Amino acid sequence: MVTALAQRLESQRKEIDDTLATFALSPTQLQEVKAKMRVELERGLKKDSHPTASVKMLPTYVYRTPDGTERGKYLALDLGGTNFRVLVVKIRTGMRNSVRMYNKIYAIPLEIMQGTGEELFDLIVQCISDFLDYMGMKNTRLPLGFTFSFPCNQTGIDKGDLVSWTKGFKATDCEGYDVVDMLREAIKRRNEFDLDIVAIVNDTVGTMMTCAYEDPKCQIGLIAGTGSNVCYMEEMNNIEFVEGDEGQMCVNTEWGGFGENDNTEDIRTRYDREVDGGSLNPGKQRFEKMTSGMYLGEIVRQILIDLTKRGLLFRGRITERLKTKGIFETKFLSQIERYKKKELRSILQSLGLDSTCDDSIIVKEVCGAVSRRAAQLCGAGMAAVVDKIRENRGLDHLEITVGVDGTLYKLHPHFSTILKDTVRELAPNCKVDFILSEDGSGKGAALITAVIDKYLYAMRFSDETLRDIMARFRREMENGLGRDTNPTATVKMLPTFVRSIPDGSEKGDFIALDLGGSNFRILRVKVSHEKKQTVQMENQIYETPEDIIQGSGSRLFDHVAECLGDFMEKQKIKDKKLPMGFTFSFPCAHSKLDEAVLLTWTKRFKASGVEGMDVVKLLNKAIKKRGDYDADIMAVVNDTVGTMMTCGFDDQRCEVGIIIGTGTNACYMEELRHIDMVEGDEGRMCINTEWGAFGDDGTLEDIRTEFDREIDRGSLNPGKQLFEKMVSGMYMGELVRLILVKMAKEGLLFEGRITPELLTKGTFETKHVSAIEKSKEGLTKAKEILTRLGVEPSEDDCIAVQHVCTIVSFRSANLIAATLGAILTRVKDNKNSPRLRTTVGIDGSLYKMHPQYARRLHKTVRRLVPESDVRFLLSESGSGKGAAMVTAWASRLADQTRQIAETLAEFRLTKEQLLEVKKRMRTEIQNGLSKNTQSTATVKMLPTYVRSTPDGTG
């Protein structure tokens, strides 16, 4: 029965996988899509083939992108979906170019969308009238730009004949007619106001122009929302059906029609054909029906119905709601791929679908397959466009920017990443940046975002770059382990003399000290074995003042000894000499477990007379000076080692420890045979990498930014710990502050206002970065924090600041993932295993408190080290418990050594005893040789009758 059940489950799983495999596109298929799209782009531009081309390549009569000299007040209309938008746009030039926008959104009922053309344009004019009343502009004759997001044949900038409706519109008596004329006639019928209609543009063109206002490299516009389309700046001499050979013109590709000549049949599925057959325009816009938000939810619904009919979903029960066309909206794809299982099931329940946990997983896989294919197809099309532009210009390498709008691109958690990755793979000679264009109240923030990305492009890393950083760090690890290369290595790979993780036999009463920042912690850790192993901890935190951190070493250790005395007094253990572990979170050279020579201070510490000294001796000296208690310091460990040991107590697979907080560092279990600085080849030893100094030799200069260099110059240790300064909590808030100051100076934030608070070092803390990146309350927190800095931020300012915080923290997570990836691949190689299964113990406030950091880190590690199963285990009790574990291990080792010594003690002979043995032996030899005493002698001295040794003459 069990076997039959397993076979049935395996068979069901295969059916699901086979169904979704039809949506998986191989690299070869994507290259073919790109090639076919390129052919259709060319056909659409040529006079002879244009009439039959599926990609129409419509001229827009937009000859250039903005150059910064634009100014004035304009009315704008935007019709492209179920919502119609009316805007007033004010463009100012001067010391700071600015765009101010005011808008209202009006719904277009379905009966109007599919009614008559006259009804549709009368409603549009009614909405314009309401908006002009709202703005008090009824008597002002404004220039009007009409964003009309449907295929039009344009013969001029203000003339556009509708080719065909898309995206659910079917208004009669419109196709083949000039929509500008229809709008003018509707304005006349209402007879309340007059407007000067000067331009009709597609939404892709509007997106490109919006983004090009801030980024001159933006010469492509992409819509990835309800519909899917692209425009770009084409050379005039390639557009055969438009007069003129000089300069450029923006071409609206209308690539949604790609495939209408059956050249995508090999990748269409039966679900695509069902959706197409049930649409308002069967056989048309086939590419759009595979890639746009209007149809993706419906594709998913068709798959779910099919899987349910086959008994693979929802216990085979198809609900009436699932049968309803359009019930599965594309927004659900975004939500389902973003949320966890519990939230996912609630979404399905809201659709009347009673799902099991397995059902939820399958639905998520379906959504992922459909949306991934959509993003890849858009990426393949975009690769064809950028390669064409590159070849148009005769370039070996093209750098260009794409302005993007659309809810699918904005809201789906993976769409944009997959799209970009596909373009990068299919157009390797093109460096393509994507910047987001936002409408309405968010548009100003999006314009700023374009500039932010220009400033902070160097903080965004591709997986290729991250793998290169992995390789660099791996080389530094090798250098640190080698006897000859260690002196010049930046990653010191310090032996810790910790040779194993906890094995469950630890027990006893221990003191643990934890010094690594401004807070000094002391713990009492009791490990017992009554029924099962338990750990009880009591701790107290003592503040370490700044003047002690940067004073003399004797004051620092006197302070530590004083705090320890106070703790022992409160614990009433001053009369006991408990084993003690010392978590000392700074780079130290160990010669054994209880000796640690400080190499260099980090994290703002500068106490004099400590570097180059054994910190155990310094602490013992301070304790001895007090004279009111005694201590037995058995082990000194780094906080990473303490973290690994703490997590190793709960999970014996833990062999890596990481700190991501005020500072950052990592340790791991290395094979002893690879550690040249330590004798022995058998077993393993924990290595403290001290990776914060990675890059101190210039290895990371190509990825450091001007802001990183400014932080380094203002630090206590310029030129040192450069990696730590790019990723750790101590510096992240300051990094954001420096970026905001520069942007404000450029007039891109806070209307150019720079307050004394914003100029003050340390006012923007890393905890502020965490607060601002929270999904629901982040913008509110941003406003509170920025208001405290005196800058009176607008909503756009808050969005922009949130974007800066995201870029800076994301870079940190990516860089940590790269260095951790190098460690994991080394552990994997050491084990000579095809797949690594291990646990990473983690501690640190940045990892714990930041709302997105852990997820980003885990996700990037999985991409960089795909052949691994890595569990990330949070150290809830800090590194102090780990220090106690090391101390327990050291105590157990000391006890074993003592017992062995006691056992062997009776075999040890003094010099006097040996002389006495010699004397007795001499007496017994004499007795054995004498005839009188030979019979009673213990040493018999028997004759052999061999009278000589060989003399060499025989």
Q: 292 with 301: CB under 8 angstroms?
A: no
Q: Predicted confidence band at 885 (pLDDT cuts at 50, 70, 90)?
A: low
Q: Check residue 145 and give its pLDDT.
A: 74
pLDDT band with cut points at 50, 70 and 90 for residue 453: very low
Asked if residue 35 belongs to a domain, the reply is yes
Instruction: Provide the CA 954 distance to its chain's centre, in angstroms.
Output: 89
Residue 510 is which amino acid? Answer: F
Rounded to an integer, the average pLDDT of 907-926 is 86
**SS3 annotation, 243-303:** CCCCCEEEEECCHHHCCCCCCCCCCCCHHHHHHHHCCCCCCCCHHHHHHCHHHHHHHHHHH
3-state secondary structure (DSSP) of residue 648: helix
Q: What is the pLDDT of residue 25?
A: 95
Contact 75, 86 (CB under 8 A): yes
Structure tokens at 378: 């858009």
The tokens for 336 are 């389902």
394 and 299 in a common domain: yes
Which of 808, 840, 867 is where one domain is finished? 867
Q: Which long-range contacts (CB under 8 A, 24 or more apart) does 558-562 make?
A: 558/622, 558/625, 559/520, 560/513, 560/515, 560/520, 560/619, 560/622, 561/619, 561/622, 561/623, 561/625, 561/626, 562/626
Nearest residue to 864 via CA among 467, 474, 473: 467
Highest mean pLDDT among 233-242, 343-352, 637-646: 233-242
Q: 257 is written with which tokens?
A: 């029609």
How large is the angle between the packed helices 853-864 and 795-831, nearest 10 degrees? 40
Same domain, 916 and 854: no
Q: Name the residue type at position 628.
A: D
pLDDT tens profile 587-613 = 878 777 778 888 888 877 888 999 989
- pLDDT at position 95 is 39
pLDDT (tens digit per residue) in 171-187: 899 998 988 889 989 98
DSSP result, 122-140: HHHHHHHHHHHHHHT-TT-
Tokens of 607: 């106490």
Q: Give the CA distances from residue 434 to residues 77, 167, 292, 431, in Å, rounded to whole numbers and listed in that order.
A: 25, 24, 18, 10
- Give CA–CA dist 408/228, Å, rounded: 10
Q: Which of 414, 436, 458 is the last residue of a domain?
A: 436
Q: Does some domain include residue 418?
A: yes
Query: 742: helix, coil or strand?
Result: helix
Instruction: Note the pLDDT of residue 447.
Output: 34
857 and 767 share a domain? Answer: yes
- How many whole angstroms separate alpha carbon 389 and alpha carbon 919? 104
Statement to judge: residues 401 and 351 lie in one domain:
yes
Number of domains in the chain: 3
Out of 644-658, 883-897, 926-940, least confident range: 883-897
The pLDDT of 411-416, averaged and rounded, is 90
More confidently predicted of 354 and 123: 123
What mean pLDDT do residues 464-484 have?
93
pLDDT at 531: 55
**Which tokens belong to 634?**
């058995």
With respect to residue 848, please indicate whether it lies within any of the assigned structural domains: yes
Q: Which DSSP letter does residue 396 get?
A: S
Q: Say if CB 775 and CB 806 are below 8 A apart.
A: no
pLDDT band of residue 238 (cuts 50, 70, 90) is very high
DSSP sequence for 55-110? S--EE--------S---EEEEEEEESSSEEEEEEEEEE-SSS-EEEEEEEEEE--H
> Please, what is the average pLDDT of the chain?
83
What 8-state DSSP symbol labels residue 947?
Answer: -
Domain assignment present for 328: yes
In a domain, 808, yes or no: yes
Rounded Cα distance, 383 and 426, in Å = 6
CB-based contacts of 857, cutoff 8 Å, min separation 6: 660, 813, 816, 817, 820, 847, 872
Residue 491 binned pLDDT confidence (cut-offs 50, 70, 90)? very high
| pLDDT given for residue 750 in this prediction | 83
**Token representation of residue 483:** 């006897």
Q: Which positions are catalytic?
A: 521, 585, 639
In this structure, which amino acid lies at residue 622?
Answer: A
**What is the distance, to the nearest Å, from the Cα of residue 875 to the centroid of all Cα atoms in its chain?**
21
Query: Does 444 have pLDDT greater than 60?
Result: no
Q: Which residue has the higher pLDDT, 735 or 515?
A: 735
Tokens found for residue 896: 């074993």
pLDDT at 72: 56
The 8 Å CB, 24+ separation contacts for 388-392 are: 388/38, 388/41, 389/219, 389/220, 389/232, 389/233, 390/427, 390/429, 390/430, 392/234, 392/235, 392/238
811 with 919, same domain: the answer is no
CATH number for the domain spanning 789: value is 3.40.367.20
More confident site: 437 or 468: 468
Distances 281 to 159, 169, 704, 732 between C-alpha atoms, Å: 25, 10, 52, 53
Domain that holds residue 924: 909-946
Counted residue by residue, the chain has a size of 954
- pLDDT cut 70: percent of the chain above it: 87
Residue 459 is classified by DSSP as G
Co-location of 361 and 270 in the same domain? yes
Tell me the pLDDT band of 443, cut-offs 50, 70 and 90. very low
| Boundary-marking domain end, from 436, 464, 499 | 436
Q: How far is CA 39 from CA 123, 259, 292, 670, in A?
A: 40, 12, 22, 55
pLDDT at 554 over 70: yes
Q: What is the 3-state secondary structure (H, E, C) of 182-209?
A: HHHHHHHHHCCCCCEEEEEECHHHHHHH
Distance CA 202, CA 60 (A): 8
Residue type, 826: R
- CA trace torsion 18, 22, 28, 30 (10° rounding): -140
Backbone torsions φ then ψ of 400, nearest 5 degrees: -150, 160
When mean pLDDT is compared across 116-125, 438-447, 560-569, the lowest value belongs to: 438-447
Q: What is the mean pLDDT of residues 890-918?
A: 68
Assess whether 793 and 941 both reside in one domain: no
Residue 886 pLDDT greater than 60, yes or no: no
Output the 3-class SS for 744-811. HHCCCCHHHCCCHHHHCCCCCCHHHHHHHCCCCCHHHHHHHHHHHCCCCCCHHHHHHHHHHHHHHHHH
Tell me how far apart the alpha carbons of residues 79 and 355 are, in angstroms, rounded to a whole number.
Answer: 38
Q: Is 152 among the domain residues?
A: no
How far apart CA 948 and CA 945 sit, in angstroms, is: 9
Which pLDDT score is estimated for 535? 66
SS3 call for 535: strand
Whether 404 and 222 have beta carbons less than 8 Å apart is answered as yes
Whether 224 and 415 have beta carbons less than 8 Å apart is answered as: yes
Burial of 125 (0-12, 13-18, 19+ CB in 10 A): buried
> What's the Cα-to-Cα distance from 583 to each of 251, 548, 578, 603, 860, rounded to whole Å?
65, 18, 16, 15, 30
Round to whole Å and give the CA distance between 660 and 853. 10
Same domain? 932 vs 825: no
**R_g of the chain, CA atoms, integer Å:** 37
pLDDT top residue among 864 and 773: 864
Over residues 262-267, the mean pLDDT reads 89
Query: In this structure, are 824 and 915 located in the same domain?
Result: no
Give tens-digit pLDDT for 298-350.
Answer: 999 999 999 989 988 888 888 888 888 888 887 888 888 876 666 677 777 77
Both 418 and 273 in a single domain?
A: yes
835 with 718, same domain: the answer is yes
Residues 399 and 266 in one domain: yes
Alpha carbons 850 and 841: distance in angstroms, whole number? 17
Q: Residue 504 pLDDT more than 70?
A: no
For residues 676 and 482, what is the distance between their CA atoms, to the nearest angstrom?
5
Residue 649, domain member (yes or no): no
**Biggest distance spanned by C-alpha atoms of the chain:** 153
Residue 235 located in a structural domain: no
Distance of CA 234 to the CA centre of its chain: 36
Reading the block at residue 528, the tokens are 């017992």
What sign results for the dihedral spanned by CA atoms 287, 292, 296, 298? negative
The residue whose two tokens read 């093109």 is 430
Structure tokens at 50: 């244009």
- When pLDDT is averaged across residues 101-107 and rounded to a whole number, the result is 76
